[in-house]
Structure 1
Amino acid sequence: MGKCSKDKRDVFYRLSKEEDYRARSSFKLKQINEEFGILKGVRRVVDLCAAPGSWSQVIREEMNKSVHKDRSVVIAVDIQEMAPIEGVVMIQADITEKDTVTKIKTFLPNGNADLVVCDGAPDVTGIHDLDEFLQGQLLVSALNIATMVLKSGGTFVSKIFRGKHPELLITQLKIFFNKVEYVKPRSSRGSSYESFVVCQGLTLPRGYQPTMVNLMLEPNYDLAVSKLEGVNRQIVPFVSCGDLSGWDSDRSFSLRTISETPCDKNKKHAFRFTNERRSGRKGKMKDAGACGKLAKNNSDASSTDLESETENLTLDDAIELITACILSDV
């Protein structure tokens, strides 16, 4: 008994063959349309990265149900040559090139489309972070075209690779669209990282000028950024805080000369503290170890004399000296 490949055992693969679709991905668009109704009432659609053409087949099929089917247009764009589809305009072009938009607009009656879809993906490397980045750049190119050919309030649907944190991408898309949904059709394999964004209600920011420039793909990034104007380029203020006439963190300053070790300094503090307490008691301290002995012999001595007499004491002796003085008051 012969073995069946994984594709032949896949129900959507078999259904696509039975219904004469070019790929199983046709059911992904069908299920997205069932949920969001993106093909309802549309007359002008641009299908980016269209090869082999399954999404264009579904779009043309839905448009044929409309009473305005004779005035509808479907434009399929792909860098590869595609087999013709009845009722679909084929354009062989790169969606990252500026001339592609001009070619698309020649087939649109008024230069505006109701819907732009993109099911393209780069050749995967297996390195998820890299694949996600490359897919993101493809999405940027598709979005650039969408902002240039979509009518106000139009819809944009594109494939993305699911990352750990899609919040940033969704937030960025909401700059251009009133509603953005993050979806995965049932026909998309659970093991696949692909997902889709459904963006509805195109509203360009005030002052924004659509462009095909993708800064990440420009050979001279700094030059490309310097040519941006208006809301396309925002200058972020960089404020310096603090007194400019004060200390400078980039300069080197001379250190103060240290004439004594930390241990000597601690002993002097102990002697000074002891002498102050002894002077306040006027010779009434009790005999309490080293402190009492010093008090008897030096009741009228100055702080300098006391430090001189106890110069050879260790730090432990100094601690004992302070402790004894404190206990003498109890």
Structure 2
Amino acid sequence: MGRTSKDKRDVYYRLAKENGWRARSAFKLLQLDEEFQLFQGVTRAVDLCAAPGGWSQVLSQKTGGQEGGQVLAVDLQAMAPLPGVTQIQGDITQLSTAKEIIQHFQGCPADLVVCDGAPDVTGLHDVDEYMQAQLLLAALNIATHVLKPGGCFVAKIFRGRDVTLLYSQLRIFFSSVLCAKPKSSRNSSIEAFAVCQGYDPPEGFKPDLSKPLLDHSYDPDFNQLDGPTRVIVPFVTCGDLSAYDSDCSYPLDLQDGSKYRYTPPTQPPISPPYQEACTLKKMGRLAKEVRPEDGPISRAATMPQPLDTQLAPEMEGLPLISASPGCPNYVHSFP
């Protein structure tokens, strides 16, 4: 696959590079803003799970023109610097991170908290939905510490069987909760965004990060909501209907007839988890056994050898009783 293969398959990835965005997800936040005017009157914004910084870029440009505009990016992973963005490398499930955010804003609460974080998906939808729900609740918990009354909270959500439970929990803290699907989000993806406006916690509520996630005794059967306790939120699509379709492939040839020119990514990843694998692949050692003196021993070297290679020479030709599935006393004779 060539360098332009992803440019052909993903038009928003190509547009992000051409417009200087670090990630295609920048278009998702821009389209959400077109629909809900998220940045109106916002001077202090927090971007949770910010790396590589696509949403932080948008927040910086949209709030930087306002007097005293400040953007704070929080992530466990290191992120390349961005103009107008202050970074905190911390865990959003820790109270110390919430205190550091409040300290940065000099005791003032944030007007907007966003979170585009997602787990490494496995393809098992039940597992992925549960992990995403945990991440959203962690973001909500820290938002209750730093968000002002009437503020806005936007977070990625995976629409699954138990999504009504998340909606009901969000509805406790916000006067308005909607599920939005930007045009730049693929139709084939179960992702959407919970847009929560009008932060209004229950009377007497005190934020607490001692249990930032769902309890281990979470019972999906018990938590099935029905009747008056079941919350169904409006579903809204965002973005111009005539905009690019994220599931379609578009030709690289430009409309004016000029030749397409490849654009490198705006900001390469910093210490990505796959960096070691890429290095081994370039050296031709990714699928090869590495000798102890050359480096770490590959997993293949530690695997047990086939039984026939472990037999002593004097045992060759003798029958061997082995446990075979469905036939426990199968007698096999080696040649």
Instruction: Place the TM-score, normalised by the shorter chain, in its bin.
Output: 0.5 to 0.7
Structure with the bigger percentage of strand:
2
Sort the Cα spacing of 1:211 and 1:21 in 2 relative to 1 into closer, same or farther, 3 A. Answer: same
SS of alignment partner, residue 52 of structure 1: coil
Query: For the residues of structure 1 that align with 2:111 and 2:46, how far apart are their CA atoms?
Result: 8
Structure 1: runs of 5+ lacking an equivalent: 222-330
- Contact 1:173–1:180, Cα closer than 8 Å, also in 2: yes
The residue correspondences of 1:27-106 to structure 2 (distance < 5 A) are 27-66=27-66, 68=67, 71-106=68-103
Counterpart of 1:327 in structure 2 is: none
CA distance in 2, matches of 1:25, 1:183: 14
Residue by residue over 1:235-278, the C-alpha shift from the partner in whole angstroms, topping out at 9 and shown as x without a partner, is xxxxxxxxxxxxxxxxxxxxxxxxxxxxxxxxxxxxxxxxxxxx
1:142 to partner: Cα distance? 0.3
Inter-CA distance 119–208: structure 2 relative to 1 (3 Å threshold): same
Counterpart in the other structure of 2:174? 177
Greater CA drift, 146-155 or 106-115: 106-115
Instruction: Give the secondary-structure state (helix, strand or coil) at the position aligned to 1:184.
Output: strand
**TM-score, L = length of structure 1:** 0.63
The aligned counterpart of 2:156 is 159
Unpaired segments ≥5 residues, structure 2? 218-335
Query: Would the aligned equivalents of 1:182 and 1:196 in 2 still touch at CA under 8 Å?
Result: yes
Cα distance between partner residues in 2 of 1:114 and 1:189: 29
Q: RMSD in angstroms over aligned alpha carbons?
A: 2.1
Name the counterpart of 2:248: none
Structure 1 match to 2:124 = 127
Amino acid at match of 1:48: L
The CA deviation at 1:215 is: 6.2
SS at match of 1:174: helix
Q: Which runs of 4+ in 1 moved over 6 A?
A: none
In the superposition, relative to structure 1, how do residues 24 and 96 fare at CA in structure 2: closer, same or farther (>3 Å)?
same
After superposition, the Cα gap between the structure-2 partners of 1:204 and 1:13, relative to the gap in structure 1 and judged at 3 Å, is same
Q: Of the candidates 121, 124, 142, which is equivalent to residue 145 of structure 1?
A: 142
Q: What TM-score does the superposition give when structure 2 sets the normalisation length?
A: 0.62
Higher normalized contact order (CA 8 Å, seq sep 6+, divided by chain length)? 2
Paired position in structure 2 for 1:15:
15
Deviation, 1:41, is 1.3
Does structure 1 retain, via aligned residues, the 8 Å contact 2:49–2:74? yes
Question: How many pairs align?
Answer: 218
C-alpha contact (below 8 Å) 2:145/2:207 kept by paired residues: yes
| 8 Å CA contact 1:140, 1:214 repeated in 2 | no
Asked if structure 1 preserves the Cα contact closer than 8 Å seen for 2:6 and 2:13, the reply is: no
Output the amino acid matched with 1:190.
N
| Partner deviation per Cα, 1:100-153 (whole Å, 9 max, x = no partner) | 101111111333000000000011111101111111111111001111100000
Alpha-carbon contact 2:93-2:212 (below 8 Å) kept: no
The reply to whether residue 189 of structure 1 matches residue 189 of structure 2 is no
CA shift at 1:213, angstroms?
2.4
Deviations 1:36-93 (A, max 9, x none): 0001110000000000001010011112333x1xx11100000000000011000000
The corresponding residue for 1:274 is none
CA distance in 1, matches of 2:2, 2:150: 53
Deviations 1:267-295 (Å, cap 9, x if unpaired)? xxxxxxxxxxxxxxxxxxxxxxxxxxxxx
| Secondary structure of the structure 1 residue equivalent to 2:198 | strand
Task: Give 1 or 2 for the bigger CA radius of gyration.
Answer: 1
* C-alpha distance after superposition, 1:293-321 (max 9, x if no partner): xxxxxxxxxxxxxxxxxxxxxxxxxxxxx
Change in CA separation of 1:5 and 1:144 when aligned onto 2, cut-off 3 Å: same
> Any conservation in 1 of the 2:110–2:148 contact (CA below 8 Å)?
yes
State the distance in 1 between where 2:212 and 2:99 align: 20
Q: What percentage of aligned pairs have identical amino acids?
A: 56
Distance 1:193-1:42 versus aligned 2 partners, 3 A rule? same
- Whole-angstrom CA distance in 2 between matches of 1:216 and 1:119: 17
Provide the C-alpha distance between the structure 1 equivalents of 2:2 and 2:171, rounded to a whole number of angstroms: 51
Task: Name the SS of the counterpart of 2:182 in structure 1.
Answer: coil
